[in-house]
Amino acid sequence: MGKSMSGIPGYIKERVEQLHKSIEKHNYLYYTLDSPEISDYEYDKLMRELIEIEQKYPELATPDSPTQRVGAAPLKEFTPMVHRVALLSMDNAMDRDEVAAFHQRVLRWLERNEITYCCEPKFDGLAVEMIYERGLFLRGGTRGDGVTGEDVTGNLKTIKSIPLRLRGSGSIPEMLEVRGEVVMFKKAFHELNRERIELGESVFANPRNAAAGSLRQLDPKITASRSLVFFAYGISDSTLLALDSQYAILSRLGELGFRINPERKLCHGVEEVWNFAREMQEKRDVLPYEIDGIVIKVDSLVDQDLLGIKARSPRWAVALKFPPIQVTTVLKMIGLQVGRTGTITPVALLEPVRVSGVTVSRATLHNRDEILRKDIREGDTVIIQRAGDVIPEVVGPVISKRPAGSKPFEMPDVCPVCGSDLKEYNERDEFKKNRKTVSIFRCVNIACPAIVKEQIFHFASKEALNIDGLGRKIIHQLVERNLVKDVSELYALTRDDLLSLDGFAELSTANLLASIEASKSTTLERFIYALGILHVGTVAAKQLALEFGSLDTLMAASKEELQKIRGVGQEIAQSVHDFFSNKQNKTTISKLLSYGVFLSAPSREKQRKTMFTGKTICFTGALSSMTRSEAKVLSEAMGAHVVDSVSKKLDFLVVGADPGSKYEKARSMGIKILTEDDFQAMMKGA
């Protein structure tokens, strides 16, 4: 159905251009400058208008359209990206003396007695390079070994602080290679980890690992779901922009639409550099992103050229690294936490101590093997490290202060909460890079009160069945008083049950009962997520819901069928299969359904308006890219009503191969006909 570009009315092209400009301007204000000028609602309105036009004229959905940021199809593997100009590494300086020595070398080499440095915080993220041709973002990749990285273009496009088209006035270079760092803000990092803990998944050790893990995803949709930010700090070769200093390059990159670090500063001599370093070290905890030092660059590009490169690092820059912050305190006890999936996690309960402005009284010990490897014992004086914003870590014991008679840690045989036997599993240790396997212990009693409480908490959470007002304290009482033994029993709670709880009165009781009742009508994807299946988060739950369309089909799926689905690996397939094979889980599910939890009802949340909202749609003929039931689920998720016959009320007929009489009938009635490709394109836009 391809129309040629020339068939498109001029006013449409103009409007699209306006929309691109306006949406990218608001992206820029929001994601780069952090100062939005319009409400989310108004923003959505612009975006929707553009989507609608592009659905009508797919050839207008050019690669630089803001609609293209959502994430392309997953890749099988990354292609290598060879950098035209290698990304160098940087020498480190550990203290003031080493900075002074660097300064002296620079002065000697240039035969000068003063010099200006451009000082910037050193981001602790992931270095990437982005290539622009005639102002358009073309390709981008990771640093890799400096010579060859990985092409992660599709993933970079999902990062809204990256301009798809360079902004601003003045001449845009024919080609520009911009370098910078992809980081995850601390807040997003903590949220992501909280979510992963909920899912029984391993946490990222620090924001850098989280950023790297998120950018190096074969499925751009996963990258899109992780809030990443790009900061530009340089270009591949200074001839690309006719400027004479690093400071000017940064300013120009800012004008071109990149986010640059406002903390940059020109410093004259070592004293000023040192003051900047101190200032940054003090600010370190309040900055929204992680830094691990400062970068000191000779500001003049002419001088940079004169200084040149030795081996793989330039003579004109040095990184001053901040020391990790360590303190000692007493480990009072090794506590054991039981997670939603029964995993037992040892935690260090510490004599509270202040580390870089934060009071620490707990630190994760990861797993038994880690404790034994470090030989951490109760009663030990231990070294605690907080490198910036990472989770406080127990570095190890101070052996000289070990009390007499202390014993190595032993994992108990039974669950600390319910007393049933623990089961030992050998799993990959995702915390440690070496990928060795470690022993993980799980309580496998699904009636364990600790597990039940965590499951209810998850079940009621916002992304699951969203039972407003059901917090940890209430759940604790419900389980302790035996009022609820599994999630389904929430729906059997009576007014009297709730009134018997501490702090409950008529109004709070009525409110909670109302939210429990309201939660009954939900979507399949929320329901799947709410079940709390090991490794099944919101993304996998959505995928499973779309692919299987109904709970029955999903429950009956074989491991092989599960594995065939995009985004569902062996691990997820196994745990989904195990979950639905378990008799007790099946009982809980049928209890839920018998209490009236109703899955096929339209989702309760305000559905985003799409161009399918409220429309009636019908399918005919064989679809090649999806099954009928997938098409139905997809359409319904977009707010459409799917029917089996053609009538005047029909808005769209989607026609597959060898369509039947419906096609003729719809045509004669003047109903809008869509090919499968049209339908797909519209779905993508919506």
Quickly count: other Cβ atoms within 10 Å of residue 627's Cβ: 12
User: How far is the C-alpha of 671 from the C-alpha of 647, rounded, in Å?
Assistant: 9
User: How far is the C-alpha of 101 from the C-alpha of 96, rounded, in Å?
Assistant: 9
Which of 16, 235, 317, 533 binds ligand IVH (CB under 6 A)? It is 317
287 is a contact residue toward ligand IVH (CB under 6 A): no
User: How far is the C-alpha of 600 from the C-alpha of 224, rounded, in Å?
Assistant: 28
Closest CB 209 distance from ligand IVH, rounded Å: 14
> Using H for helix, E for strand and C for coil, what is the string for 463-519?
CCCCCCCCCHHHHHHHHHCCCCCCHHHHHHCCHHHHHCCCCCCHHHHHHHHHHHHHC
User: How far is the C-alpha of 560 from the C-alpha of 62, rounded, in Å?
Assistant: 38
Number of residues that bind ligand IVH (CB under 6 A): 14
**How many Å is the maximal CA-CA distance in the chain?**
93
User: How far is the C-alpha of 77 from the C-alpha of 140, rounded, in Å?
Assistant: 15
Q: Which stretch binds ligand IVH (CB under 6 A): 26-34, 85-93, 148-156, 608-616?
A: 85-93
Closest CB 258 distance from ligand IVH, rounded Å: 13
314 is a contact residue toward ligand IVH (CB under 6 A): yes
Q: Which stretch binds ligand IVH (CB under 6 A): 49-57, 88-96, 100-108, 410-418?
A: 88-96
Contacts with ligand IVH in 215-234 (CB under 6 A)? 233-234
Cβ atoms of residues 180 and 140 within 8 Å = no
Closest CB 152 distance from ligand IVH, rounded Å: 15
CB nearer ligand IVH, residue 131 or residue 382? 131
Contacts with ligand IVH in 158-187 (CB under 6 A)? 181
User: How far is the C-alpha of 231 from the C-alpha of 183, rounded, in Å?
Assistant: 8
* Sign of the alpha-carbon torsion through 372, 377, 380, 383: positive
Closest CB 234 distance from ligand IVH, rounded Å: 5
CB nearer ligand IVH, residue 308 or residue 335? 308
CB nearer ligand IVH, residue 219 or residue 292? 292
90 is a contact residue toward ligand IVH (CB under 6 A): yes
The residue to which tokens 């908490």 are assigned: 457
Closest CB 218 distance from ligand IVH, rounded Å: 23
Q: Which stretch binds ligand IVH (CB under 6 A): 64-72, 82-90, 427-435, 580-588?
A: 82-90
Quick one: CA torsion of 562, 635, 682, 9, rounded to 10 degrees?
Answer: 170
- Considering only CA atoms, which of 637, 669, 634, 633 is closest in space to residue 651? 669
Active-site residue set:
122
Closest CB 343 distance from ligand IVH, rounded Å: 34
Closest CB 90 distance from ligand IVH, rounded Å: 4
Quick one: CA torsion of 567, 571, 573, 575, rounded to 10 degrees?
Answer: -130
Contacts with ligand IVH in 113-152 (CB under 6 A)? 120, 122-123, 127, 143
Q: Which stretch binds ligand IVH (CB under 6 A): 84-92, 278-286, 457-465, 477-485?
A: 84-92
User: How far is the C-alpha of 403 from the C-alpha of 173, rounded, in Å?
Assistant: 68
Which of 5, 12, 82, 88 binds ligand IVH (CB under 6 A)? It is 88
CB nearer ligand IVH, residue 122 or residue 458? 122
* Phi and psi torsions of 331, nearest 5°: -85, 105
Closest CB 153 distance from ligand IVH, rounded Å: 19
CB nearer ligand IVH, residue 142 or residue 575? 142
Closest CB 124 distance from ligand IVH, rounded Å: 7
- Considering only CA atoms, which of 463, 538, 473, 455 is closest in space to residue 512? 473
Those residues whose C-beta lies under 8 Å from the C-beta of residue 256, and which sit 6 or more positions away, are: 163, 166, 167, 168, 172, 176
User: How far is the C-alpha of 140 from the C-alpha of 375, rounded, in Å?
Assistant: 44
CB nearer ligand IVH, residue 127 or residue 266? 127
- Measuring CA to CA, how many Å separate 220 from each of 78, 87, 563? 12, 25, 20
Contacts with ligand IVH in 21-80 (CB under 6 A)? none
Which residues lie across from 396 on neighbouring strands? 383
Cβ atoms of residues 529 and 538 within 8 Å = yes
CB nearer ligand IVH, residue 127 or residue 212? 127
Closest CB 81 distance from ligand IVH, rounded Å: 16
CB nearer ligand IVH, residue 321 or residue 402? 321
Those residues whose C-beta lies under 8 Å from the C-beta of residue 684, and which sit 6 or more positions away, are: 70
User: How far is the C-alpha of 564 from the C-alpha of 366, rounded, in Å?
Assistant: 33
Cβ atoms of residues 531 and 579 within 8 Å = yes
Cβ atoms of residues 488 and 595 within 8 Å = yes
CB nearer ligand IVH, residue 57 or residue 289? 289
The residue sitting closest to ligand IVH, measured at its beta carbon, is 127
Closest CB 185 distance from ligand IVH, rounded Å: 15
Closest CB 96 distance from ligand IVH, rounded Å: 20
CB nearer ligand IVH, residue 277 or residue 478? 277
In this structure, are strands 652-655 and 672-675 parallel, antiparallel, or unpaired?
Answer: parallel
DSSP code per residue over 558-594: -HHHHHTSTT--HHHHHHHHHHHH-HHHHHHHHHHHH
Closest CB 112 distance from ligand IVH, rounded Å: 21
Quickly count: other Cβ atoms within 10 Å of residue 304's Cβ: 19
CB nearer ligand IVH, residue 101 or residue 347? 101
- Measuring CA to CA, how many Å separate 510 from each of 219, 469, 498? 44, 11, 9
DSSP code per residue over 242-305: T-SBHHHHHHHHHHTT----TT-EEEEHHHHHHHHHHHHHHHTTTSSS-EEEEEEEESBHHHHH
CB nearer ligand IVH, residue 120 or residue 678? 120
| Interface residues toward ligand IVH, by CB under 6 A | 88-90, 120, 122-123, 127, 143, 181, 233-234, 295, 314, 317
